[in-house]
Copies of this chain bind each other. A is one copy, B any other.
C-alpha cells in the first residue's frame, strides 16, 4: 500500500496530516512525503514537515497520490517540473486524492478536464477555469479521482478512500481508533453556515491570494500538455 504525498513550503499541514492519520493506519501502508529535496519545510503557519523521498524516487504507480493545498500551492501552478511529476504519477496511480486547493494543482496539471471536483470554498469558483465540473460537496468521487473541500475535509475523503482500498470494516476500525465522531462547537464550517461578517472577513483576508490563483489558473490553461 504505497502512498505518495506531495509536500512543499507553505502547505496547509492538515491537508497532509489529516489523510496521514487515516491512510497510515491501513494494513501495509508505506506513506512517503515527496519533494524536490529532503530539507525540512514549514507549513503556512510554521509547522516543520520533513520530506523523505525525492520526486524521481517516489513510487511510479502509487496506490494513492495525495495532493494537498495551502498558500504555497500557488507556486506549484507555474512549476512545470512539479506539474509534470504530478501528471506522471497520476497517470499510473490507483487513486488520486486532492485536499483543499490541491485540486488547483491538479487543474494546472490538466487533470481536471471533464471531471467532477471540489476544493476549498474560497477557491471553488476557480474550478471551472480548468474545465472541471464543480460539485459543491465535501467529498467528490469521480472514477479514481477523489477531491475534497478545505483542510479538514481531507479526513472525510481519506476515510472514504480507506473504504475503497481496504473495505468498509477496515475504514470503520480506523474511524474508531481515531475516535472520529466530531462535534464542531459552532455551525460555522461552510460559507453558508457562518455568519456573513465572518465569511466576508475570511474572504477579504485571502482575496489577493485568490486573485493570484485565478491568474495562475489562466496561465496554466494556456499550456498544452503533450500527452
Residues of A within 8 A of B (CB): 12-14, 17-18, 20-21, 24-25, 29, 31, 33, 40, 45-50, 52, 100, 120-121, 138-139, 149-153, 155-156, 159-160, 163, 168-169, 171-173, 175-186, 188-191, 193-195, 197-199, 201-202
A49 neighbours in B (Cβ, 8 Å): 48
A197 neighbours in B (Cβ, 8 Å): 169
Q: Report the copy number of this chain in the oligomer.
A: 2
Contact of A176 among B138, B185, B194 (CB under 8 A): B194
A176 touches B152 (CB 8 A): no
Which of A13, A14, A153 is the most central at the interface, judged by chain B CB atoms within 10 Å of its CB? A14
Q: A14-B178, A48-B52, A138-B181 are in contact. List 17 more A-B contacts (CB 8 A).
A: A13-B17, A14-B17, A21-B45, A21-B152, A24-B45, A48-B50, A138-B183, A149-B179, A156-B184, A159-B186, A163-B186, A175-B184, A175-B185, A175-B186, A176-B190, A181-B193, A182-B182
